Structure 1
Amino acid sequence: MQKTKGLLGNIGIQVVIAMIIGTLVGIAMGESAAVFAPLGSIFIHLIKMLVIPLVAVAIISGAAGLGNSHAAGRVGLTTLGFFGLTSAVAVALALAMGEIFQPGIGIDFSSVSAMYEGNLAAKGELPTFWATMIGMIPTNVFSSLNDGNILQILVFCLFFGIGLSKVEAARSKPLIDGINTVVDAFVWMINVVMKIAPIGVFGLMAEAVGTFGFAALSTVMNLFLVYVATILIYGFLFYPAMIKTLTRIPVNKFISAMKKPQAVALSTASSMATLPVTMDVCEKELGIRNSTSSFVLPLGATINMSGNAIYYGLVAVFFAQAFHVDLGLGAYVAIILTSTLGAVGQAGVPGPSFLVVAVLLAAGIPIEGLPLLFALDRIFDMIRTALNITGDAVCAAIVDEMAGEVPQSQQQDAIDLR
């Protein structure tokens, strides 16, 4: 009895139960389940209220902590290299799965032709390299904070945090301590908001399932099944293999610890909204240092999107097969490159992934059927977000292991925690 009560008191278990109940209510009520939408909206608004300032101060804190470290350069390069490499591997796996199981064979999109938007191609234009670089630099950081421009906030806060680390310790320590105090305050606020997470999750799931249901999904069921299988392979084979090979964290412990942030990611479909939970689990349950998690996880929530890369690659193969387009080596290279760049550039917030248009255009694949997938994007987004935040945690664990600048006594404490 006591064990059951303890399980029900776990926020992760509560969120999963809420997801199941919300799904059942959505199926039973159909579109009228939208009446529960305000519950999800309130939860998401509370999270969004706190996430931007939390990300800002967490990145400053992490960058300041790493700035004076001899491993700072290695940490940054390892983090960015991990994100790029894992995204490329993810889309390569997606292409392989698509060719093996051929989910697009025999699909008829005539029933969704009326949904086609003539201006859809314009939404798939990728900015040039220099446009992207210039766009990352804020001209007014307060406007960036107000607009929620995550990449600009990241650039400024990283720069500012490193700048703080270069100021003599006697002068910078009080400010850094103050920033760390603000981080702790935001974490407390997030924990309070998370107490109503099951209610918000129920509202989100009831609305999503009730509005779109699984009827629309039946047209692309083969794609959905291959997509889920690819996500599971990557999340439960590839990432655990990296944990086992490159860290000292037991694989079972890592998988168990990630259940809570994965449940939140599934329900919110937002890496940014899940960030506080991911940070809390990485530090308290996996023994990852705050300086590492504060740097890697906010960065990962913004630019590490292996789940999106899988989605882009599979959708490309799916539509190529549906429209009888033969993909050559050049098309595959174009898909991998565009998917990787698109995944890195995708903001960590829920919403239709118009970057998939760029992937299809790059490979010369028709885009007529995409509106159907946009209608179902919430369902796909929930699943890929869970993989994205898992990748963030894997990267944090690997970077923490490679930084290797912890006194022996602290290393032993970390191992004991694990």
Structure 2
Amino acid sequence: LAPANVVKAAADDGVLAVVVFAVAFGFAATRIKTELRRPLAGFFEAVAETMVVIVHWVLLAAPFGVFALALGVGLRAGLGVAGTLAHYVAIVCLSQIGLILITYVVAVVWGRISLARFARAVAPAQVVAVSTQSSLASLPVMIERARDWLGVPQTSAGLILPLAVAVFRITSPVANLAVCLYVAQLNGIDLGLGVLIAGGLTAIAVSIASVGLPGQVSFFAAIGPICLAMGLPLGVLPLLLAVEVIPDIFRTVGNVTADLAATRIVQGGDAEPIGSEHSKTS
């Protein structure tokens, strides 16, 4: 998994090896002096922002490309394509709904909170998640709800939630693997246990490295490495991108819900009784 030459690995589409190197490089960067780490972080932040700009340019042109691809496929396959896309959306969305329901159970059991109170606490953050499809955009209301409804101190919420938004995307590995399994099924490819393990490890690594932006921005960057690690073709991904906005809503809602559940569990209970302020809000 560790590349002898990371540049060659990148040129040969050895995405998993590149991800392993990037994770090791990131951890190693935390061990150098602050005055050396700061410009290094600034450089990669600038590169990341530049790539986001390029991605936005690509997304502006993407509808024309997706339309051309869908038109060609539609002329050959007819209305069957619509059924295929609907099947894909249903599979990914159902996997996310199941994960969200499990998150509620985990929050109630290990967070020592009633289901009704937790549901009311996360509902406004979920609304923001649906409208923006971005965990980052949901962060302010998440901190507010954790403080006012989940009994988490402001200092704890201000530390745990930004960290959770940055690295704890519980829905991403599940949804991304669901996409890859659908691609494999669509192409009639049988996947062995070793391939599934490689895909799962890559999905976890990619979810940690991705950003909390709408899924359309990071769809290829998130799904592509997993498909390559599992030996799956990439040709169908532009077609799936056309309907990604629907599954991405459930991805973001699941991530926001899990982040608030994790914050409550880490806190371990109410920091102080929720009194008048909670009652006023009610």
Shift of residue 134 of structure 1?
3.0
Aligned-pair CA distance for 1:126 = 6.1
Which whole-Å CA distance do the structure 2 matches of 1:254 and 1:149 have between them? 35
Contact 2:125-2:256 at 8 Å conserved across structures: yes
Q: Identify the residue that residue 154 of structure 2 maps to in structure 1.
A: 290
Instruction: Show CA shifts across 1:16-38 (max 9, x none).
Output: xxxxxxxxxxxxxxxxxxxxxxx
Aligned-pair distance for 1:375? 3.1
1:185-237, CA deviations, whole angstroms, 9 ceiling, x for partnerless residues?
A: xxxxxxxxxxxxxxxxxxxxxxx9xx99xx9865311121122212111112x
Confirm or deny that 1:224 pairs with 2:89: yes
C-alpha offsets along residues 85-106 of structure 1, whole Å, 9 cap, x if unaligned?
xxxxxxxxxxxxxxxxxxxxxx
Alignment of 1:187-202 (within 5 A): none
Q: How does 1:62-211 map to 2 (within 5 A)?
A: 127-135=18-26, 137=29, 138-140=37-39, 143=42, 147=46
Which SS does the other structure have where 2:18 is aligned? coil
Matched with 1:359 is 226
Kindly indicate whether the alpha-carbon contact (under 8 Å) linking 2:92 and 2:179 is maintained by their aligned counterparts in 1: no
CA contact (8 A) 2:202 2:229 kept: yes
Do 1:282 and 1:288's aligned partners in 2 also have CA atoms closer than 8 Å? Answer: yes
* 2:143 partner amino acid: M
Partner of 2:140: 276
Indicate the percent of aligned positions where both proteins have the same amino acid: 24
Specify the alignment match of 2:208 in structure 1.
344
Q: CA deviation at 1:324?
A: 0.8
Task: Give the aligned partner of residue 335 of structure 1.
Answer: 199
SS at match of 1:248: coil
Q: How many residues end up aligned between the 2 structures?
A: 231
1:388 equivalent in alignment to 2:255: yes
Higher gyration radius (CA): 1
Alignment match, 1:374: 241
Q: Distance in 1 between matches of 2:44 and 2:128?
A: 24
Select the residue among 248, 255, 267 that pairs with 1:400: 267
Q: CA RMSD in A?
A: 3.3
Contact 2:96–2:254 under 8 Å retained in 1: yes
1:132 shift after superposition: 3.0
Asked whether 1:306 is paired with 2:205, we answer no
- Name the CA distance, whole Å, in 2 between partners of 1:315 and 1:269: 18
- 1:413 is aligned, of 268, 273, 277, to 273
- Rounded to whole Å, the distance in 1 between the matches of 2:227 and 2:44 is 33
SS at match of 1:258: helix
Q: What letter corresponds to residue 226 of structure 1 in structure 2?
A: I
Distance 2:16 2:200 in 1: 16
The DSSP-based 3-state class of the residue aligned with 2:91 is helix
User: Are the equivalent residues in 2 in contact too, given 1:126–1:358 (CA < 8 A)?
Assistant: no
User: C-alpha distance in 1, partners of 2:198/2:208?
Assistant: 15
CA contact (8 A) 2:152 2:264 kept: yes
Instruction: Give the aligned residue type for 1:241.
Output: V
Task: Tell me if structure 2 keeps the 8 A contact 1:335–1:359.
Answer: yes
Q: Is the CA contact (8 Å cut-off) linking 2:170 and 2:255 kept in structure 1?
A: yes
**CA shift in 2, pair 1:279/1:217, >3 Å:** farther
Task: Give the counterpart letter for 2:25 in structure 1.
Answer: I
Say whether 1:250 aligns with 2:114.
yes
Once residues 113 and 178 of structure 2 are traced to their aligned partners in structure 1, the CA distance between those partners, rounded to angstroms, is 32
Using the alignment, how far apart are the partners of 1:343 and 1:318 within structure 2? 19
Structure 1 unaligned regions, length at least 5: 1-120, 151-207, 405-409
Letter in 1 for 2:96: I
Give the alignment's TM-score, normalised by structure 2: 0.71
Could you tell me which runs of 5 or more consecutive residues in structure 2 were left unpaired when the two chains were aligned: 1-11, 30-36, 50-62, 68-78
Shift of 1:128: 3.9
**Residue 3 of structure 1 corresponds to which residue in structure 2?**
none
User: Deviations 1:293-332 (Å, cap 9, x if unpaired)?
Assistant: 1111101111111221122111111011111111111112
The alpha carbon displacement at 1:291 in A equals: 2.3
In the superposition, the TM-score normalised over structure 1's length comes to 0.49
